[in-house]
Structures are given as structure tokens and as C-alpha cells.
A = this chain, B = another copy of it.
Amino acid sequence: MYDIAIIGAGPAGVSAAINAKILNKSYIWLASRPVSKKVERAELIKNYPGLPDVTGEQLAFVFKHHAESMGIQLTEGVVTGVYDLGGRFALLADNRDFEARTVILCLGVEAAKPLEGEEEFLGRGISYCATCDGALYRGKNIAVVCTDKRFEHEIEYLCSLAAGCTVFPMYRDYEIKAQNAKIVLKNPIRYEGDTRVRRVVLKDGALDTDGVFILKSAISPATLVHGLRVEEGHIVVDRSCATNIAGIFAAGDCTGRPYQYVKAAGEGNVAAHSAAEYIANLK
């Protein structure tokens, strides 16, 4: 069991990890990729005090270097669920699970809004995790909605198990090698079913299915953590970065505007200190 689980590799996540280490807490730092895509893409950042006129790529590099210089390791994995076990939390990332006394959510704001039916049928035919749930669909017909080329190996894994595999690639330049994959270049707009998901609804028709895998790196906070208070897409936190769930903190863009690197880094710092204080009070 870790003291602190940190989710996200943007400025808030890096800052939280640095402070978890300095505060001498055990921690696991999880993110879907080693560097925040949003940071890396920024053209020119003029208002990160101390680093004038830095490109996103440079800022991502110095963040990474800072963490590495302190021996801080990131564990790559898409966290698809955070479960409150009472006094501790379980985190599911790909096929592994981790336990921690506190969680710091540094999720950014890129999380696509879930489609209608997505949250309703999550765990009832809809899954975010190929390696966790793929085996349940051996010999069945599945749909796979994929938002990022990086997850294509998971599509191939799913297709190797399923009898029929309809793939909706939501990005350009897809290269899906599975022979039984049927590529459909349309956007799902809704999921329907009864006690389980049964159909992927498109603008002009629908596809019957036994299960749906949605492969995306950014899962909306309310979906990730049951009962988390979210308003207008932002996790509600107080000045100490505490959410409405005791032991869960949030930092960075996911807590609201302004969407700024140094604001996020500052909140990562605050959240780590708040988590450490929370742990001290547990004992």
C-alpha cells in the first residue's frame, strides 16, 4: 500500500510527485504517457516564472529531468477506476491494481465527455480496459471505440479473442492489423441496451454488439471516481485541493480555470502537502 497515488504527468502531477518524494511518502505515479501531451504541444509559454519563453517541449523536458534527477519513476498505465475501500483506495490501471491511502487526481481537461449511455453501461458490457475484461468476450461480437493510435495493440488483442470485432478509430492514420477487424469510419453517438449494453448507435443506423471497449487515455473524473463532485466538468476542490471524498485530492486543469502551467504546478504542491497532512491525521 502506498501513501499517495498520483494520476497524471502534467505540471500538477510532476509537482505532486516531487513533493511526495520530498515529504518522504511512499507513492505510485501513474500516467498514460510519460509526458503530458498538452504540455508538449504548447508552442511558447511566457508565464512560467523562472523559465521565460520556453517551448512546451522544453518545459516537458525539464519537468521530466527534474523528476528523474530525484529518482522519481513514472509507471505508465491508463487508470480506469478508483475505488473507495474505506480508509484506502484501489486503483485499476490496465491489468494491474494498486492500493493507496490517498489519491491525487491530476487529470487535465482533455477528458472527452462520455457519450450517452457510456456511464450507465460501464461494467455492464462497456469496459475501458482491454486487458482486464477482454477474456470475457471470447468468441463474442464486440465493438471497440479507440481514441488514440497508441492503443492499437489492445485492439489487436481484443480482436484475437472476439469472434467479430467492429473498430471505430477516432483518429487519423490508423493501422489495425487484425484480420477479423471491421473498420467503421463513423462516430458512435450513443450506447443503448437493457440490463447490459446491446447497441452502438450511429447517426445513420446502429450496430448490435455483445460488448463495447472504449480505449481512451482521459476518462472523465466522475466516471473514474464514483461519487466525486464535479461541476461544469471541473472537480470541485477547496483551497487545500481536497475533493468531497476524504483522502482524494485534485490539482491542475481538472480543478478549473485558469488553465495555466504554474497554477497547475502550484496546486500539485498544495495537494501533496494536503495528502501528507491527511495521512498524518489518519494515524
Interface residues of chain A, those whose CB is within 8 Å of chain B, are 11, 14-15, 18-19, 22, 46-53, 59, 62-63, 65-66, 69-70, 237-239, 255-258, 260, 262-270, 273
> Can you list 30 contacts pairing A with B, beta carbon distance less than 8 Å?
A14-B49, A15-B47, A15-B262, A18-B49, A19-B47, A22-B46, A47-B269, A49-B62, A49-B66, A49-B268, A51-B51, A51-B62, A51-B66, A52-B65, A52-B70, A237-B239, A238-B239, A239-B239, A239-B255, A258-B270, A258-B273, A262-B262, A262-B265, A262-B268, A263-B266, A263-B267, A263-B269, A263-B270, A264-B266, A266-B266
Q: How far is the CA of A263 from the CA of B238 in the complex (A)?
A: 14
Cβ A50 vs Cβ B52 within 8 A: no
Cβ B262 vs Cβ A266 within 8 A: yes
Q: How far is the CA of A262 from the CA of B265 in the complex (A)?
A: 7
Chain B residues near A48 (CB, 8 Å)?
A: 50
Shortest A102–chain B CB gap in Å is 16
Cβ B273 vs Cβ A257 within 8 A: yes
- Closest chain B residue to A62 by CB distance? B50
Cβ A69 vs Cβ B49 within 8 A: no
Cβ B18 vs Cβ A47 within 8 A: yes
Interface of A is mostly: helix
Q: Given contacts A18-B49, A59-B50, A66-B51, are A260 and B256 in contact (CB under 8 A)? A: no
A273's contact among B19, B51, B237, B260, by CB below 8 Å, is which?
B260
Q: Most chain-B Cβ atoms within 10 A of its Cβ — which of A49, A53, A257?
A: A49
Shortest A250–chain B CB gap in Å is 12
Chain B residues near A237 (CB, 8 Å)?
A: 239
Shortest A65–chain B CB gap in Å is 7
Shortest A129–chain B CB gap in Å is 30
Chain B residues near A256 (CB, 8 Å)?
A: 239
Shortest A43–chain B CB gap in Å is 14
Shortest A109–chain B CB gap in Å is 16
Q: Given contacts A239-B256, A262-B265, are A11 and B49 in contact (CB under 8 A)? A: yes
Cβ B265 vs Cβ A49 within 8 A: yes
Shortest A272–chain B CB gap in Å is 9
Q: Given contacts A15-B262, A265-B266, are A63 and B47 in contact (CB under 8 A)? A: no
Cβ B22 vs Cβ A49 within 8 A: no
Q: Most chain-B Cβ atoms within 10 A of its Cβ — which of A50, A66, A256, A265?
A: A50
